[in-house]
Structure 1
Amino acid sequence: MMTPKEVLALCREREIRAVDLRFMDFPGTQKHFTIPVKALTEESFEVGFGFDGSSMYGWQAINESDMLVVPEAGTAFVDPFMNRTLCLFCNIQDPITREDYDKDPRNVARKAEKYMQSTGLADTANFGPEAEFFVFDSVRFDQNEHESYYHVDSVEGQWNRGKAESVPNAGYRIRYKEGYFPVPPADTLQDLRTEIMLILMECGVDVEAQHHEVATAGQCEIDMKYRPLLETADNILKYKYIAKNVAVQHGKTATFMPKPLWNDNGSGLHLHLSLWKEGESLFAGSGYGGLSDMAVYAMGGILKHAPALLAFCCPTTNSYKRLIPGFEAPINLTYSYRNRSAAIRIPVHSPNPNNKRFEFRCPDPSANPYLAMSAVLMAALDGIQNKIDPGAPLDKDIYDLAAEELDTVAKVPRSLNASLEALREDHAFLLKGDVFTEDVIDTWIWYKSTREIEALRQRPHPWEFTAYYDI
């Protein structure tokens, strides 16, 4: 972790000319502005830089719009796409009180880590994210008063196997739901994913693997090594930024939208969680799946609070088009050893106790990673503190269960509105340690309800013309 003095030395060493100050807005979009390198001093890491907080959705009113971004030296990396530019992730502060801003998502993550440490239960929450995304060759979409449409295309798409091309059609197309681990030439994105992987590593992100995912038409995954919560969230921002820019350089487009294709697998953000103390994993034990009692109680907390968690972990209306049967997305709130059809899976890759963890499979990559992982950690801690029993595991293929047996298994919410209602009723666990505040919860529910749910509810859908035009 670099100090301010070391950041300035890096600027001189790399002949940096511009410094890009980056932060996350409330809904989960990365923002930035740029200063000349001479404006960055050691004092800048204390006093920060001003900006207009009223121009950010869900933040300040115009009569109290002045805010500060305060760069964090330990996040510095050289931008791989911009000319002689250094990037710094920033925290948001009130310019008068100099207090950290409650609705800064990065601040929520910082508070979550501090709260965990204050409980004495653990000193580190490690998250290993598996963020899936699609790379398309082109995309077109619009929505206005008289038309609504989208069109995506991919050279890999099965729908293109009959396409007449300027060169002979080689016929190597990935069939629906058969995109897991194909080799080139069917996998057309090998070099692109490798380039993303190598750039991530140059930017300080440790990568474990990259591969094609299950869906047709360019579904990708690059797995980052587990790191503490805040660092993992920062790494996810780097991941999205690098994936999108590499795709553009290749004349393509990358999207982290959960379900861009109907009738094929969507994209998840599978989160592997383990708690540690003094360099030792606390999740290894002799219980089910080789887990400790602490890990089992943590699963209990996540499963109990899952409907509310999904308001942050699956935060878009499109998220719930992914959470349907038959596409490897978990719709039943249970846990299992090895079973990927459960909401929580216990991997069996290694007997090493330091690798013992569990994987929460519900989240998707549209989530604001700071808020989503903070909420998951708070639910896990609540489970440990209250010794919440997750119930019996389900070691069967959930999709093949008889109806009467399936009826006993709790389900994920079927819509964003249902998740927001669950959050409204169940958020006391998030308020501990002032990690989330009532204002954060209320603003999140308001934003999602008015700007997304209500906006979609008002608009005719193209499928409605198919179903009802001749009624």
Structure 2
Amino acid sequence: MSDVEPLMQAIAEHRVRICNLRFTDLLGHVRQVSIETSALDPALFSEGLAIDGSGIPGWHAPTEPDPVLLPDPGSWFIDPFASQPTLVVFCSAMEAGTGHAYDACPRSTLARTIDQVGRRLGADRLQIGMELGFSLFDDAQFDDEPYRVGYRLSAMEAPCAAGTAFAGGNSGHRPLPRRAAFAAPPADHFSDLRSEVATILAGCGIPGVTHGHGRGACQHVLVLPPADALVAADRLQLARYVVRSVAAGYGKTATFLPKPARDEHGVDLVLSVAAFSGARPLFHGSEYADLSPLCLSFMAGILDHARPLAAFTNPSTNSYRRLRPGEEVPTVLAYAVNNRTAAVRIPLAARPDQKRLELRFPDPLADPYLAIAAVLCAGRDGVERRLEPDDPLDRNLYDLPVEEPALRHLPRSLDEALDELERARALFTADEAFCTRMVDSYLTLKRAQADEVAAVPHPAELRLYWSN
């Protein structure tokens, strides 16, 4: 049976009327083209569908050939939110006429990187697990006008002013700010919402999702089980779609902003990485924490290149409001067994096949394709150079002085991270894992975002300096 046949059978079984071809642009946004299934030719899965890419930021100009969307027939799911029976399939973009991967396509970049890094590591499977944080609010209002700048968030779980009654008569049943991890009902009001998300994800082909309340009053966590790297990236895009759609059905708004509220430490995207050759776990060994020399070099590469890596794993100006010393988030470029205060944590593993590295600094705004590809490139460089990590730091790094000279930290701003990427671009463009043109376009788009935010007066500036 070909890879396409199960998809075509699903279309017939579910009487699917519409097929949505979804792809991701350079800013991590999901886009799609829809086809009525009566016009769906199986040749689409080998020949692709040409689209006008000139309207997509960072893609080709109107004078250049159109990119071609090539659906991945193993990535489909039935859309649980569409009003008509609809099937969704993830696509990579290719160059028209050549069959080469399109240089501005994040999914194609990851697929190419997986192949290159896998061969260098002697791995036939690179596995990624994800812990996805998000926030839920009742309402979000923004003002971004010349003489009116600000925002207002409202949420039933948010702390209220002293003496303010809780709507609905449930005064007092709120999770405690910064101490709400694993809150249970009635303080946790959205256990049912998260359970619905998990049930829908299982129906879309992601079984075994676990979930809970986050540490912040309005924060929530989904844990997606490990999967092959490309599948894991697709799953993250699907999980975001389901979270937003279910939240809207409850009359809520979901956001993956790392730090939407000033007095909370923010939400993260924890990435776990493992490598296998057949059934043999390549990261298990007899070195520190039962790691292999290969794994230690891979980890050393990540820590060595974490500052430019942050341009992909922490790609927004808001990312660096979370990544601040004193915010109880990992900013120190260190590692240790079970140390959640370090940038890289090594969890205890009951079995060799569970041995993995856990990156604790990425955030949920990361484009999963580019972030995973960048992590793999950094790890590969560590292996190729046979890097060895510094000694582990098993102390609470949140308590260390910020100015301690021996410590390396993640960047303090998006501009700083982009400068680091500019200097280290050869790391990512080696063997054309990342195309040079794509890195140039990414830098241009992200610098434009940083400049736009920098040009807007901040409310705190008016408070601090108005009367000076």
Cα deviation, 1:164-190, whole Å, max 9, x if unaligned, reads 456424211222201101110000010
Cα deviation, 1:337-370, whole Å, max 9, x if unaligned, reads 111100000111x321111111011110101000
What is the TM-score when the length of structure 1 is the normalising length? 0.96
* Alpha-carbon distance in structure 2 between the residues aligned to 1:333 and 1:438: 27
Cα deviation, 1:205-261, whole Å, max 9, x if unaligned, reads 1334110010112x1111011111100000000000000000000100110111101
Offset of residue 403 of structure 1:
6.3
1:214 alignment partner in structure 2:
215
Q: Which moved more, 1:118-127 or 1:23-32?
A: 118-127
The amino acid of 1:303's aligned partner reads L
2:370 alignment partner in structure 1:
371
Q: How does 1:29-428 map to 2 (within 5 A)?
A: 29-64=29-64, 66-82=66-82, 83-119=84-120, 121-159=122-160, 162-164=163-165, 167-217=168-218, 219-348=219-348, 350-401=349-400, 406-428=404-426
> RMSD across aligned C-alpha pairs, in angstroms?
1.6
Task: Flag structure 1 segments of 5+ consecutive residues without an equivalent.
Answer: none
Q: Is contact 1:76-1:88 (8 Å) kept?
A: yes
SS of the residue corresponding to residue 232 of structure 2 reads helix
SS of the residue corresponding to residue 158 of structure 1 reads coil
Q: Is contact 1:163-1:169 (8 Å) kept?
A: no
Is the alpha carbon distance of 1:128 and 1:469 closer, same or farther for their aligned partners in structure 2, counting shifts above 3 Å?
Answer: same
Is the alpha carbon distance of 1:427 and 1:207 closer, same or farther for their aligned partners in structure 2, counting shifts above 3 Å?
Answer: farther
* Alpha-carbon distance in structure 2 between the residues aligned to 1:453 and 1:56: 19
Cα deviation, 1:75-114, whole Å, max 9, x if unaligned, reads 1110011120000111112223332201100000100111
Is the alpha carbon distance of 1:372 and 1:167 closer, same or farther for their aligned partners in structure 2, counting shifts above 3 Å?
Answer: closer
Q: Is contact 1:125-1:377 (8 Å) kept?
A: no
SS of the residue corresponding to residue 22 of structure 1 reads strand
Is the alpha carbon distance of 1:457 and 1:22 closer, same or farther for their aligned partners in structure 2, counting shifts above 3 Å?
Answer: same
The amino acid of 2:462's aligned partner reads F
Q: Is contact 1:54-1:65 (8 Å) kept?
A: no
Q: Is contact 2:58-2:438 (8 Å) kept?
A: no
The amino acid of 1:197's aligned partner reads A
Q: Is contact 2:309-2:421 (8 Å) kept?
A: yes
The amino acid of 1:253's aligned partner reads T
What is the TM-score when the length of structure 2 is the normalising length? 0.97
Task: Flag structure 2 segments of 5+ consecutive residues without an equivalent.
Answer: none
| Runs of 4+ with deviation above 6 angstroms | none
Q: Is contact 2:202-2:209 (8 Å) kept?
A: no
Q: Is contact 2:325-2:402 (8 Å) kept?
A: no
Cα deviation, 1:266-292, whole Å, max 9, x if unaligned, reads 111111111111121111112211211
Q: Is contact 2:103-2:435 (8 Å) kept?
A: yes
* Alpha-carbon distance in structure 2 between the residues aligned to 1:138 and 1:403: 36
Q: Which moved more, 1:461-470 or 1:246-255?
A: 461-470
Is the alpha carbon distance of 1:138 and 1:90 closer, same or farther for their aligned partners in structure 2, counting shifts above 3 Å?
Answer: same
1:434 alignment partner in structure 2:
432
* Alpha-carbon distance in structure 1 between the residues aligned to 2:96 and 2:388: 45
* Alpha-carbon distance in structure 2 between the residues aligned to 1:165 and 1:395: 42
The amino acid of 1:333's aligned partner reads L
Offset of residue 295 of structure 1:
1.1
The amino acid of 1:446's aligned partner reads T
Q: Is contact 1:71-1:90 (8 Å) kept?
A: yes
Q: How does 1:440-455 map to 2 (within 5 A)?
A: 440-450=438-448, 452-455=449-452
- Percent identity, please: 35
Offset of residue 458 of structure 1:
1.2
Question: Aligned match of 1:461 in 449, 453, 458?
Answer: 458
The amino acid of 2:363's aligned partner reads D
* Alpha-carbon distance in structure 1 between the residues aligned to 2:153 and 2:392: 40
Is the alpha carbon distance of 1:272 and 1:120 closer, same or farther for their aligned partners in structure 2, counting shifts above 3 Å?
Answer: closer
Cα deviation, 1:271-318, whole Å, max 9, x if unaligned, reads 111111112111111221121111111110000000010000000000
* Alpha-carbon distance in structure 2 between the residues aligned to 1:435 and 1:116: 9
Q: Is contact 1:135-1:254 (8 Å) kept?
A: yes
* Alpha-carbon distance in structure 1 between the residues aligned to 2:308 and 2:383: 18
The amino acid of 1:434's aligned partner reads E
SS of the residue corresponding to residue 363 of structure 1 reads coil
Is the alpha carbon distance of 1:118 and 1:167 closer, same or farther for their aligned partners in structure 2, counting shifts above 3 Å?
Answer: closer
Offset of residue 48 of structure 1:
1.8
SS of the residue corresponding to residue 45 of structure 2 reads helix
Q: Is contact 1:160-1:173 (8 Å) kept?
A: no
